[in-house]
Structures are given as C-alpha cells and as structure tokens.
Structure 1
C-alpha cells in the first residue's frame, strides 16, 4: 500500500506500513556486479566497455548492509557534477532502537528540519549536518531551506558501522570496524561515487583501502577538532581530483538496489526523537524491532 501525503493525522499503523513493506521485499532484491577480468594495457579502454556486458546477478541477501544509506533524489546527477558519498562513523543509541531506515530518518529530521507526522514538535537541526554541508560547498554562510534541500537531494550519506553504539563516550569496538568493511563494499558497488568524504580520521585508512581509485577526503568528525580552515581546502582538493578523473562517470547505471534505497530515503518519516505520546512511541518501537528482525533474519538465513 502506498501512503500519500495527507493533511490529516495518520495512524501509527499507517506510518509503520512503508517500512514493513520495504523490508519484507528486501531479500528479493537483485543488483548488478561487474565481474573482474585481467586487462592488457593496450586493451584497457575496450575491455572497460566490454565489462559492462559481463555481469552477474547476486541477491541482496548476500550483503550485510543493515542500515540503508540516505540517497538523495538527484544523487545520480550529483552535486556540482559529482556523485558524493558522505560517510560518518556510527549511530549512537541502545540496540532496540535499530531499524533499517534510521539513516534517512535522521537526515530528514536533523539535516532538513522535517517533522514526524505524529511528533509533538520538530527536532532541532543538528550542527553535524550544517558543518558537513558548509565544508563540502566551501561556503560558511547560513544556507536557506531551499539550498539545504538541494544539497542533500544530490548526495548520499552513510554510517560505516552497521550496528548501534550504546554511548558516544565509548569508542566503537574493533570488531565493529571490521564488520563494517563488507557493507561498505556493497554500498560502493551500488552508489558508484566519484568522491568520498570520510568524516572520521580514525577510519580514514580503512576507508581508503576499500575505496579503490575513488578519491577520498579524510577529515575530522564534525564533533571533534573540526576546523573549516583545514577541512574546506582538503575537501576542495579532492573535489578537484574527482572532477578531473570522474572515476565512475560513464559507468554509473541505476540498479534495483539503488532504486530501493532511493525509495526508502523518499518514504522514510523523519525520526521523532522523544517527541511522541507514550502509546505512539511504544508502537513505533515495536514496528522498528520487527523491521530490523525481518532484515537480520533475511541476511543470516541464506
């Protein structure tokens, strides 16, 4: 059932339906993986074209992506001609709050300032996302609502660690970083970014090792030692390199997983935080647990 925007207050069951529907279909998804083959230098360009036809289908059940990335509606067109993947570290909360659409929910609430239909009030936009936008656009002036919508509609945002960390004062365990490698490879295969902005110095080496020939700007996390005077030039330098190389420019094509992530981003409701009635909060938590359990079961059952 597709839920259209309405002026009247939706029921909690209606709000839960898009997420449940999306994750029930997740194991049925397919995406394209370009198969690897050895290249002779003189045949490289020809073989690059031929490789587009050498594909195999693999099911989404073979990937470990638990939290779908935010994919802006115009990501394929890119921002300033580049498809940019913005990469944070992790989500912080108790694990019973995990749900597959957590990242799009947070971007809508804290970056775009949207309000959950059942929330008693809107969450305040977070400086984390303000700093990221200013750093990437090389503009420190306050952005208008339209400018924010345009920017976030043209980029992707993803957190490397695919499990909730209980507290911000505790560093993610080593095992969580290692478990994040396979999901990131899947994200890179699907999104085919021209530029990665890694918002974590401690994760920079790992991301660079997985990025292949995609330029990576490694900067401090917006919550720690983040200075525009150093971050803006570093990102601008990598943007220039990305513009010159356009790593995946001609080879990018939408696949079913890309479309599904895009649809999930469009359909997700902004996170309400704690601004719900007791009954609505209890029902929302139940729906989140069910959606996460369905996806996790699909990921481990095959």
Structure 2
C-alpha cells in the first residue's frame, strides 16, 4: 500500500527579531491509507509545528521552508500556490485543532460553519450544504443534529465542540486527518468517546490520521506507528508495539518511564525526566537530549545523530546500539 502523505527531510525556520528558531528540523514520515501515525514529545518538541507545516498554515514571514518536501496526492505541497493550497485545506487534508472554543467562530452557528466548507469545496447550494452539515453532525454522534446545527459554539459542551470540529473536518471526506491534541481538557470518559469516534470514522472512510498527542495511553490504544520528536527533530520512528516494548532512544525510554502505570499492582513510582526541554533559540551542541540523558557519552555533546535503522522497521537517532531495556 502506498503512502497518502509523505514528508521527506522537511526544514522550517522562524526568522524573528530575537533570533532564528528551527521547530521543524529534518522531519521525515509517511502515512498509509487507513493508518494512524502518532507524533509525541514534550511541549516545544515540534509536533504542532510539523502538523501546521503539512497544510502550510504558518505565516510567511516569519516562517520559511528551507528544505524538504511534503507529498500528498502526487504533489509537493511546498510548490503549490496559496490558491491551490486553499483547495486542499479542509478538502483533501483536514485538521482538528487543539482548542475547539478558539477554533470555532463564536458569531456563526455550528451548522453554518460546516456548510461554509461544503459550499467552498463542493459547490453546493445553501440548502444542500445545510442538509449535509446536519448529516455530518449526526455522523459524529451529536443528538438532535437538526436543532444543534442552529446553535452557537458557546451552547455546546467541550466534548460536543470537539465532535463539531471533527464533523467540520470530515464533511468533505478528506483522505488525511490531522488531529492536534483532540482530547485535551476533556475528562477521561469523553476522551475515550472521541478516540472511539475517530477510530470508527477512520474505518468507515479509510482515512489516514496524523495524531498529535502527549497522552501515551491514547498512543498505545490508537496508533499504528509512532514518531517521537525532541527539540524539533525526529528521534525515533517505529511501530507502536516496538516503541513500547523496546525503545531505542533514551528520550523515548524516559517518556515511557515518566508515564503513570495502571498495569502494575499498587502503581509504580513516577520517574520524571530531569531538566527542561532545550531552547530552540540556543539549542545545545550535539544531541539535544544529552544534557538530560542518563546514558550520555562524551561524543553525544559533539555529534548530532541521524535517524538510522536500529532494528527492522525501527529507527532511532542515537549513538547507542542495541536494546535500552
């Protein structure tokens, strides 16, 4: 099966008055139809910056794409005009943003916001778009969708707003869905409902999903592949089971050890990662993780490791070889 989205050695930098930062620094990934790729890492690791780069949503300037390619539908999105990109956003590639309350227009009804996308991309009449908007709300499990389509975002609960965002994103049946922290600020029960909803819609429509998340529990239940990022760079890429069973990058191992364990009787003590993520204005020399790494060697302060295959289908950016268990 061929990839519906492929990123090859993507570089993006922000040229600011305070200096230049590189939140996307050599990112490569691919996602196949019906597959879920989870992108994980601490805040500031480059997850959302990479996701927004796929749709070229960073303002330019200050953002400049200095290398690489983003291939979807046989086209390099970095070479398309802004007009061509508007035809792709929400139509071929859709995104569910992190905070639905700030992503939805408070002055328009939910139904009108969904219908706007349908009219833009599919050329539907007002009545046709309204009918399809109601159908989209029904698909994501919103009760009495005919009535709720006429309500405003502030009349929806947090979980309902997230469902409305998903309905808007999927109304045009995109081939790729980018979900940026879709369960943030939701209680555990609603989180599970949202992830079950995405999984059901993915199976129904055959979408590829790029899932941006901090929640490793969600990753374990939902993802096929995992990309771990640190300091704007990819540091591990592998099938989800391999990442949890045999992490090959010390940062990935540290993330897993800092996660609460529900499978250990009586629980297990948390093992937080010391220090703080690196400043992108002044990243450390060598491997960006080496100041916090318990397994660091002298060469880690000098060499920037490339993402290389450590086991079949399992890549990591580390000078260490073999299992870290």
Q: Normalised by the size of structure 1, how large is the TM-score?
A: 0.25
RCO higher in 1 or 2 (8 Å CA, sep ≥ 6)?
Answer: 1
- Greater Rg over alpha carbons, structure: 2
Q: Normalised by the size of structure 2, how large is the TM-score?
A: 0.24
Q: Which protein is richer in strand relative to its size? A: 2
